[in-house]
Amino acid sequence: MVADWRQQGLCKDEGDPDLFFPVGNTGPALLQIEEAKSVCRRCPVMETCGDWALDSGQDTGVWGGMSEDERRAVKRRKARQRLAVTYGQKAGAQS
């Protein structure tokens, strides 16, 4: 259940929730992103959180130890893999 894993997240006990929502991805935001990720690395639900963020399309913030840019890269990689499988199957069927 979604609420269950969120209750186990270390981020919920973090004093400043804004830590997980840096403004930008350069300069001072890079330090903030790394600080948020350090909390994530200790979190027992990091993988579940990251999967949820990817599946639900979270565009902002640090989720599951991944920054916005990292999640976008994962989404692009998965999309390329899906296309390769789809086109690979079609090419195999035509042979």
Q: H-helix or E-strand containing 29?
A: helix 28-41
- For residue range 5-45, list pLDDT tens digits in order: 999 999 999 889 999 999 998 999 999 999 999 999 999 99
> Do 81 and 94 meet the contact criterion of CB atoms below 8 Å apart?
no
Tell me what the mean pLDDT of segment 45-68 comes to: 96
- 3-state DSSP assignment of residue 63: strand
pLDDT in the model for residue 25: 87
**Nearest Cα residue to 29 out of 72, 75, 71, 62:** 62
pLDDT in the model for residue 1: 46
- The residue that leads in pLDDT, 92 or 29, is 29
Tell me what the mean pLDDT of segment 83-94 comes to: 70
- 3-state DSSP assignment of residue 92: helix
Q: Which pTM value belongs to this model?
A: 0.82
Distance CA 20, CA 60 (A): 9
